Structure 1
Amino acid sequence: MKTLHNNITAILTIVFFITIFSGHSQEKMYKTQLETVYLKNTKEVVYQNTFSNYNESLIASNQINFKKEIKFSKGKNTSLLFVSNKNNVELITASYLKTIRKAANRSRNAEAFQTFLINNLPQLSHQFAIDNNLKELYFISRKDTFNGKIDALPSVL
């Protein structure tokens, strides 16, 4: 009985090592057969960009009440879309508004605002880099943030 058990253990061990070594040799064989693939850098074609349209509507309103806008967008459960030949992004409007408010509150200037948006929404970084309306959006959204209201107070000193 003991010899049968030892034989089965030996056979399983041999099978185990054979499968391991055969897998490594196949992997080496496939690595030598694969060639480098070069991707052509194509220009991104944008089919739909509701983020830009939404930013323009916020700028056109000339004043943003974040609390009211976030509550309204949560009630309607709206989302913003960015569709192109390279990527597709869908983001809930309330979440986007919260990100804008946070970026405006934590930034001291429009460049820091743009950098904050690029870091927190990396899937839209290429659009934020070419968006010309972000400076205006920063100044309008900064007015309704805590730090913006503090900055608007007259200096006592």
Structure 2
Amino acid sequence: MKSLIHTIKTAIFSILFLSLSISNAQIIYEDQLETIYLNKNAEEVVYTNSFSNFNNDLIATNKINFKSQIQKANQNNDRLLFLSERSNLQILTVTYLRTIRRGANQSNNPESFKAFINNKLPELINQFKKDNNLEELYIISRKNTFNGKIDALPSVL
């Protein structure tokens, strides 16, 4: 009889311990998980896309001075925002400008620039396909990078 009571107490204690450890594990990992949006829509509904507007503004200037743009964005602590029902992305404008400059400097053609940007900002791949302004952005930003200026020098050979 005592062993049966002891076994029941042990079982109850084990079940309580197991349920508490599972709920603690859930609390620990809950902060690390991202929100997943389940939707039957194949089309992504975009609420805010300041990346596209910023790209259009850069293209409209026709000459990007990365140093002054980065300083200005750094002083203002500007952020770019992309909100949709599938993803939320917010990065500093300084980081985005540096990504554009690095991509334009390291790329030799618009396709490799697009691949670089899509690799750095995978959340915006579908939007960059729709906007289709990365090629123009590459051409304008390439002129103002180190490798772009070297490419513009006349060939001596």
1:83 match? 83
Map of 1:2-151 to 2, 5 A cutoff?
Answer: 15=11, 19=15, 40-151=40-151
Q: Could you say which structure has the larger radius of gyration?
A: 1
**1:16-35 alpha-carbon deviations (Å, 9 max, x no partner):** 9x65xx99xxxxxxxxxxxx
Q: How many residue pairs align between the two structures?
A: 134
Mapped contact 1:70–1:94 kept (Cα < 8 A): yes
User: Which whole-Å CA distance do the structure 2 matches of 1:55 and 1:39 have between them?
Assistant: 29
Deviation at 1:15, TM superposition (A): 4.6
Deviation at 1:70, TM superposition (A): 0.4
Letter in 1 for 2:109: N
User: Which whole-Å CA distance do the structure 1 matches of 2:41 and 2:56 have between them?
Assistant: 30
Deviation at 1:46, TM superposition (A): 1.3
Mapped contact 1:66–1:97 kept (Cα < 8 A): yes
Percent sequence identity over aligned pairs: 53
1:3 match? none
User: Which whole-Å CA distance do the structure 2 matches of 1:89 and 1:68 have between them?
Assistant: 25
Letter in 1 for 2:150: I
Where has structure 1 moved over 3 Å in runs of 4 or more?
Answer: none
User: Which whole-Å CA distance do the structure 1 matches of 2:143 and 2:122 have between them?
Assistant: 25
TM-score (norm 1): 0.75
Letter in 2 for 1:149: K
Mapped contact 1:117–1:128 kept (Cα < 8 A): no
Counterpart of 2:44 in 1: which secondary structure?
A: coil
Deviation at 1:131, TM superposition (A): 2.3
Deviation at 1:41, TM superposition (A): 3.8
User: Which whole-Å CA distance do the structure 1 matches of 2:42 and 2:130 have between them?
Assistant: 17
Counterpart of 2:89 in 1: which secondary structure?
A: strand
The answer to which of 88-97 and 121-130 deviates more is 121-130
**1:27-75 alpha-carbon deviations (Å, 9 max, x no partner):** xxxxxxxxxxx96243111121111111011001010011110011000
Structure 2 segments unaligned to the other structure (5+ residues): 20-37
Counterpart of 1:52 in 2: which secondary structure?
A: helix
The alpha-carbon distance between structure 1 residues 39 and 132, as it changes in their structure 2 partners (threshold 3 A), is closer
User: Which whole-Å CA distance do the structure 2 matches of 1:146 and 1:135 have between them?
Assistant: 18
RMSD in angstroms over aligned alpha carbons? 2.7
